[in-house]
Structure 1
Amino acid sequence: MNRPISLMLVEDNPEYRAVIRLALKRDGGIELVDEFGTAEIALRTVQDAPLVNRPDILLLDLRLPGMSGLDALPYFKKVVPDAKIIILTQSDQEADVLRAISLGADGYLLKASTVTAIKEGIRTVIEGGAPLDPGVAKFLLKSLQSRLPKVASEKLLSVRELEILSLLGEGMLKKEIAERLGISYPTVDSHVRHIYEKLKVRNAPSAITTAHRLGIFPPDD
């Protein structure tokens, strides 16, 4: 992407909005184009905006006055289907994490994250990755591992696909997975497409959540 990444922030805390605004002002690669305190106003604004003015990324809080971020997420997915949505919240509750990802969130970060981590998460999503707060990723992996029925996993995904799913769960990019496993990027990309097809999902967080629900994950070594 030759132009700056365009970003919309939906956050009701004005002080936190100011922190994000200041951090992004110093970053020429990311441009904060809109910020809102409620999901309702944000939805109306982006719906009325020309396609060329719609953001590449939405940073969406969960705890908002009126419509919550979770309730608004499906509407944002319909109004701006090409935009990536990263949840940025204080909540690390299991129900919030799993519901957000199942509704199509492309990443899940906590407000306790550093500004650097948030900006890295934004770039990770643009590059095709799925940024997860380390604590959230650890929780998801632990939950997946605790629910493994080996027979079911072997029937649905191959050993290599399970291995790649595990690395996706750690928030790794396809190119990083290729380097870790010593295989080519196109090979990893092909495996990821097959994983998505088999699990009937469109992104890595949804694959992780679906695997969680089905009880699919490779056993501990």
Structure 2
Amino acid sequence: MSIRVLVADDHPLMRAALCQSVAGTMPDLTTVEAASFGDVEAVLKREPVIDTILLDLHMPGMNGLIGLALLRNEHPTIPIIVVSASEDAATIHRAMEYGAAGFVPKSAPITHIGDAIRAVLDGAVWLPSAGTPAHAQAPVADADMAARVAGLTPQQLRVLAGIAEGKLNKQIAYEMGVVETTVKAHVTVILRRLGVVSRTQAAIVASKLALAPVAETQAEAS
């Protein structure tokens, strides 16, 4: 039986390398490509079967963990393997908390991609190495926020993504094809679910979930 893998990364060379490595690791495997979160959603709408997703957290429109949570919410049966240049333990644990079935650092040997795909398709969790043990616990605050975000509906997650991007309610409403009062109602629920009291506080939470790309993080530290 053919296995279909959605390879989602905005860098063409990385996407091509992932597709090539995936195709070489397993027989009867085909790949579908996406360069943005919007592309991912379009593929999932038109493709009858996608068995797993290789997902970059920093694609356009992704908003980091918000996009991951949205995909898990809307497609709970498709295991997601995060493939990321961020490979610190905190990022790995947060990705797993928000619904990833596996995590492969971009610096890992290319054979790990095939290992991860086989593992998640067998119903297991795949982590990069013994250096990031599966039993290690994420901070309680992170686990609590992950549970709160998981309780949001797809529409509410889309509003939260808009908040993360600094958009006004009317901009979010236009993009979602709804009236502004609907967005305001979603914001009210989001504030309650996240345990914050203002849109500004929700924006702070959302910006943390969006994650900073590795290059930006390193630039700030230098």
Match of 1:36 in 2: 34
Match of 1:21 in 2: 19
- The amino acid of 2:35's aligned partner reads G
Normalising by structure 2, report the TM-score.
0.55
Q: How does 1:45-124 map to 2 (within 5 A)?
A: 45-46=43-44, 48-49=45-46, 53-124=48-119
Flag structure 1 segments of 5+ consecutive residues without an equivalent.
Answer: 148-221
User: Does the aligned pair in 2 maintain the 1:57–1:83 contact within 8 Å?
Assistant: yes
Flag structure 2 segments of 5+ consecutive residues without an equivalent.
Answer: 141-222
Deviation at 1:31, TM superposition (A): 2.3
Which contiguous aligned blocks of 4+ residues in structure 1 show a shift greater than 4 angstroms? none
Number of aligned residue pairs = 140
- The amino acid of 2:93's aligned partner reads L
Deviation at 1:18, TM superposition (A): 1.1
From 4, 16, 23, the equivalent of 1:6 is: 4
Tell me the SS of whatever aligns to 2:10: coil
- The amino acid of 1:128's aligned partner reads G
Deviation at 1:135, TM superposition (A): 5.9
Match of 2:127 in 1: 132
In structure 1, how many angstroms separate the alpha carbons of the residues matched to 2:68 and 2:30?
Answer: 19
- The amino acid of 1:43's aligned partner reads E
Deviations 1:65-96 (A, max 9, x none): 23234221122113322111111101123442
RMSD of aligned alpha carbons: 2.6
In structure 2, how many angstroms separate the alpha carbons of the residues matched to 1:21 and 1:33?
Answer: 6
Return closer, same or farther for 1:13/1:130 CA change in 2, 3 Å cut-off. same
User: Does the aligned pair in 2 maintain the 1:91–1:110 contact within 8 Å?
Assistant: yes
In structure 2, how many angstroms separate the alpha carbons of the residues matched to 1:130 and 1:30?
Answer: 22
Deviation at 1:28, TM superposition (A): 4.6
- The amino acid of 1:11's aligned partner reads D
Tell me the SS of whatever aligns to 2:77: coil
Normalising by structure 1, report the TM-score.
0.56
- The amino acid of 2:61's aligned partner reads G
User: Does the aligned pair in 2 maintain the 1:12–1:65 contact within 8 Å?
Assistant: yes
